[in-house]
Amino acid sequence: MSITRPTVVSVAGPWLLRSVSAVEVMVKRNVAAAVVVVALLVMTSCSAGGGAGGAEATASEAVDDSKVLVPAASDDFKGRQYEEVVNELKDAGFTSIETTALGDLITGWTKDPGEVKEVTIGGSSFEDDARFAADTAVVVAYHSFPPDPEDTVLTTEDSEELRTLLAGPSFGAPLEQFVDAHQGETIMFDGYITYFLYGSRIVYSTADVRFGDAGADPGTGPTFSFTPMLVPEDSPVAGDELAEGMSVRITATIGTADVFEKDSFYDPETEDRIGIVISSIEQR
């Protein structure tokens, strides 16, 4: 007995084959397009990277090597001893460094004397990559105890009271008031010798000094007298080298005031004076 297999009739005509071919073409085109997009992205990324590198190179080339690179940021100097900081800044190449003692310590328990509070360059704080011209002003401010009044030198530049005394009358209450306020302190002023007596025994030697210049208008302010005329050995001018009319710069400690009443034996206008102890005499 023979079995007859059924005949399978294909219903996929030529149109189906064409459709399959069209799909294959579209897939290939989409893949090609994706490849092109990826390539473009890669090229764009490389171009951007190259640009950044170029920018970095340009920035590096723009660094001015003639300027001094700071050794550390301003905050990094805080709490260190100011001498170390000054030396480090000098070694870095800075040439205009100023130190400022703040005189802000009372007990010294929380801050040590000499401990840096602030460092500024050109008036501002700075980061560790900053550069400045070598002569830019550098200020190192550090904690310290207030100065001892006995170590303070009163000058006409910084003491209003001394300026007032030297420009005022030569006798009377202003002399006593100044001495009461500043006895034991040191003054420095330019004057000239109005009277000079040098004896064989130092106890008999004396000199008077007035504020101002010899040969100019009569000096103002009181007469300063040092009797006996004890002049330290390291003074630029020795006692026996002085002479009346010599213009001098006096550095001396304030002693006592000799102030007389008008009805006394002495004439206050010519006899009132402030006693001083000489620290140094320079000829001007």
Give the pLDDT confidence of 151-204 residue by residue, as tens digits: 678 998 889 999 999 888 888 888 989 999 888 889 999 999 988 887 766 666
**pLDDT tens for residues 261-274?**
665 555 556 678 89
Q: How many CB atoms lie within 10 A of CB 1?
A: 2
Nearest-CA neighbor of 241 among 204, 196, 200, 273?
196
Tell whether the model's pLDDT for residue 36 goes beyond 70: no
| Residue 19, token pair as written in the block | 């459709």
What is the DSSP secondary-structure string of 32-52? HHHHHHHHHHHHHHHHHHHHH
Find the Cα–Cα–Cα–Cα dihedral 237, 238, 243, 245, rounded to 10°. 30
At 69 the three-state DSSP class reads: strand
Nearest-CA neighbor of 101 among 123, 86, 88, 122?
86
Tell whether the model's pLDDT for residue 41 goes beyond 70: no
Identify the top-confidence range among 4-13, 108-117, 199-208: 108-117
Nearest-CA neighbor of 244 among 187, 273, 206, 280?
206
DSSP state of 245: T
Rounded to 10 deg, the angle between the 173-182 and 160-167 helix axes is: 150
Per-residue pLDDT at 227: 78
Per-residue pLDDT at 24: 55
At 114 the three-state DSSP class reads: coil
Tell whether the model's pLDDT for residue 50 goes beyond 70: no
Tell whether the model's pLDDT for residue 11 goes beyond 60: no
| Residue 161, token pair as written in the block | 């009271």
Nearest-CA neighbor of 238 among 280, 185, 177, 196?
280
Per-residue pLDDT at 10: 46
Tell whether the model's pLDDT for residue 33 goes beyond 60: no
Q: 211 has which bridge partners?
A: 191, 220
Residue 93's φ and ψ, nearest 5 degrees, are 125, 0
| Residue 88, token pair as written in the block | 């480090």
Residue of higher predicted confidence among 89 and 22: 89
Mean pLDDT within 135-145: 94
Per-residue pLDDT at 8: 44
Answer yes or no: are the C-beta atoms of 211 and 191 closer than 8 Å.
Answer: yes
Per-residue pLDDT at 30: 57
| Residue 26, token pair as written in the block | 């579209």
| Residue 193, token pair as written in the block | 């010798």
